[in-house]
Amino acid sequence: MSRQLNVAVIGASGAVGEVFLRVAAERKFPIGQLKLLATKRSAGKQMEYAGQSYTVEETSLDALRGADLVFCSATSEASKLWGPQVVQAGAVMIDDGSAYRMQENVPLVVPEVNGADVDWHEGILSIPNCTTTPLAMALHALRQVATIARVTTSTYQAVSGTGAQAVAELKSQLAAFGRGEAIPAPEVYPHQIAMNVIPQVDSFGEDMYTGEELKMRNETRKILHLPELPFAATCVRVPTIIGHAESVHVQFEGPAGVEDAREALSKMPGLAVMDEPAKSVYPTPLNTEGDDRAFVGRLRRDQSVEHGLVFWVVSDNLRKGAATNALQIAEEMMRRGKI
Ligand SMILES: NC(=O)c1ccc[n+]([C@@H]2O[C@H](COP(=O)([O-])OP(=O)(O)OC[C@H]3O[C@@H](n4cnc5c(N)ncnc54)[C@H](OP(=O)(O)O)[C@@H]3O)[C@@H](O)[C@H]2O)c1
C-alpha cells in the first residue's frame, strides 16, 4: 500500500469527520493531499491531521478537483449532490450516509464480512448504518456454526450516532440537571434524552417500524447476501455519548452450541469476545470506546426456542460504526487494485 492518494473529506467538521482524521492518522492511511470540506458554517475552522493544521473549506467542485478518493460523512443531500460529480471526475466516493446503501450498483461493505463486494463498485461504495456493522460481523461468524433462521434485536444507541448537535443537546440537559435548573427543551430529539430512553430512532415508516429499524434489516440482508432473512429490530436512543449496544436473539435451523459459537466469534477478524459473567466482564459503551473492534458478551442459549443463542454486542459507533469501516473499505480496495 505504498501509493499515496489525494483525499477529500466532506463533513470533516462533524462527529464522524473528526474521528475519521484521528483513525486515518492512527492507521497511517496513505494520504497525499488532504482537503477538509464542510459547509460555509465551518469554513475557515482549523483542524489537525497527523500533527499538521488544515483549514476547512466550503464543499465545491473546485475544492474536490484532483481528489482520488472522497470520504463523505455529511448529509444525504450532500451525498446525492456530490456523489455523481465525484464519479464523473473519475474519483471514488465512500459514503457514510444512507443515500446509496440499498442502491443495486453500490456495494455496502463490512470488509471482514463481504470485502469481495468492493470488486464490483462503479465509483460509489457505502458503509452500513452504525448498528448494522457489528451485528453483521457477529452474524457472519455465527453462520459458520449453523444456518441462521431468524434474528431479533433491540438496540441501545448513543447520541453521537445522531451527530455533534445531539451530543451538545445531551450535555446541556445534563449540565442544567446538575445545576438544579430547568432542563432546556429538546431540539434534536422528540423528547428530553437526559435521564430518559427514547424508543424512536429516525421517523416511523413501513408497518410502524422506524427508518433505523428498516435500515438494520435491509442492510444486514444485503451485506450477508441473505435477502429473505427474517429480521426484526427495535432501535432505542439512550443517554450515552459514544458506543452502540445491541441485545440479539438468533434462531438457527439446526444445533448451535454456545461453545462452538464462542469459538466462531473469537476467530472472527475485527470482533472480540469479552465474556466472563462471574466477574461482571462484558462489553459496555465505556469499556469499548476508542477501540476499532466490535465486542460480544453475555453469550448464552436462548431458552425460548430449540436452536437459539442470545448475546450482547457493543461497538464504537464513530469508529467501526463509521470512520474505521470507511477507511478499511478503502484499504480493501487498494489491496484488490480497485482504486
Ligand atoms: N455518527 C455516527 O455514529 C454515524 C455512523 C455511521 C454513519 N454516520 C453518517 O455519517 C454522516 C455524518 O454524521 P455525523 O454524525 O458526523 O453528523 P454531524 O456531526 O452532524 O456532522 C455533519 C457534517 O457534515 C457537514 N455538512 C452538512 N451538510 C453539508 C453539505 N450540504 N455539504 C457539505 N457538508 C455538509 C457538516 O458541516 P458544518 O460543520 O459546516 O455544519 C458537518 O461537518 C451522516 O450521514 C450519518 O448518517 C454517522
Domain extent listing, the chain = 5-128+322-335, 132-317
Q: Ligand 1 within 6 A of 41 CB?
A: yes
Q: Which of 333, 243, 327 is nearest to 73 (CA)?
A: 327
**What pLDDT was estimated at residue 110?**
98
The cell 470488509 sits on which residue? 111
Is pLDDT at 83 greater than 80 in this prediction? yes
Beta strands in the chain (DSSP E): 5-10, 31-38, 46-49, 52-55, 57-58, 69-72, 92-95, 124-126, 148-156, 231-234, 244-252, 271-273, 294-301, 308-315
Mean pLDDT, residues 222-248 taken together = 98
- What CATH code is assigned to 5-128+322-335? 3.40.50.720
119 CA to centre of ligand 1 in angstroms: 27
What is the DSSP secondary structure assignment for residue 320, as one 8-state letter? I
Cβ of 63 less than 6 Å from ligand 1: no
Ligand 1 centre to CA of 16 (Å) is 7
At 5 the pLDDT is 98
Indicate whether 2 pLDDT > 70. Answer: no
Nearest CA to ligand 1 atom 45: 97
The per-residue pLDDT for range 117-149, each reduced to its tens digit, is: 999 999 999 999 999 999 999 999 999 999 999
Catalytic center residues: 130, 244
- Is the distance from the beta carbon of residue 133 to the nearest atom of ligand 1 less than 6 Å? no
Work out the pLDDT band at 3, boundaries 50, 70, 90: confident
Q: What is the pLDDT of residue 117?
A: 98
The grid cell for 93 is 466516493
Question: What pLDDT, in 10s, does the model give residues 179-219?
Answer: 999 999 999 999 999 999 999 999 999 899 999 999 999 99
Q: Which of 39, 57, 246, 324 to mutate to test the pocket of ligand 1 (most atoms within 8 A of CB)?
A: 39
What is the DSSP pairing of strand 52-55 with strand 46-49? antiparallel
Q: Residue 59: CB within 6 Å of ligand 1?
A: yes
CATH of 132-317, one of 3.40.50.2300, 3.30.360.10, 1.10.3720.10, 3.40.190.10: 3.30.360.10
Is residue 86 very low, low, confident or very high in pLDDT (cuts 50, 70, 90)? very high
Place of cell 441485545: 247
Does residue 38 line the site of ligand 1, with CB under 6 A?
yes
Mutate to test the pocket of ligand 1, among 9, 16, 162 (most ligand atoms within 8 A of CB): 16
Cell of 237: 436512543
For 184, other C-beta atoms within 10 Å of its C-beta total 13
Pairing, β 244-252 against β 148-156: antiparallel
